[in-house]
Amino acid sequence: MKHATALRVHLLPLRMSNAYLIELPAALVLIDAGSPGDTQKILSRLNAFIGKPLRLIHITHAHLDHYGAAASIQRARAPQRQHLNAPAPRKDLYVPRVH
C-alpha cells in the first residue's frame, strides 16, 4: 500500500545561498532565510501556497546569507493568533517599561 507524501521540499535558489521551503499538509517551514535583499523573492514563493501559514523559520547557522531576511519575512508573515474565549487585552493595564 502506498501512502501520500506527508511533506514536500522546495528549493529556493537565492543570491548568495539556498533556502528550503518544507511544505506540510497544513503549514510551511522555511529553512534559512537568505540575505536581506532576498525578502521579496522568498515572500513571493511563500504567497504561492495559499492557505498554508508559515509556522517556523529555522536558521541553520549564523551567517548573514542564512538569516539576513528572517526578520522582514517574519514581520510580513506573522501569524495572527486568535484564542477562542480569551478576553481582549486591557489597554488600561499597560505600564510601559522605563530603562
Residue 41: per-residue pLDDT: 96
The rounded distance, in Å, linking the Cα atoms of 20 and 73 is 14
Q: Is residue 84 part of a domain?
A: no
The set of cell numbers assigned to 77 is: 508573515
Q: Is residue 93 part of a domain?
A: no
Range of the domain at 42: 8-79
Q: How many domains does the chain have?
A: 1
pLDDT tens-digit profile of 27-82? 999 999 999 999 999 999 999 999 899 999 999 999 999 999 999 999 998 655 54
Answer yes or no: are the C-beta atoms of 26 and 6 closer than 8 Å: no
Helix (H, G, I), strand (E, B) or coil at 45: helix
**Residues facing 20 on adjacent strands:** 11, 31
DSSP labels, 46-63: HHTSTT--EEEEE-SSS-
Residue 91: per-residue pLDDT: 56
Strands 18-23 and 28-31: antiparallel
Phi, then psi, of 86 in degrees rounded to 5:
-95, 130
Residue 6: per-residue pLDDT: 83
Q: Is residue 39 part of a domain?
A: yes
pLDDT-derived band at 5 (thresholds 50, 70, 90) equals: low
Q: Is residue 52 part of a domain?
A: yes
pLDDT-derived band at 3 (thresholds 50, 70, 90) equals: low
Distance in angstroms between the alpha carbons of the first and the last residue of the chain? 62
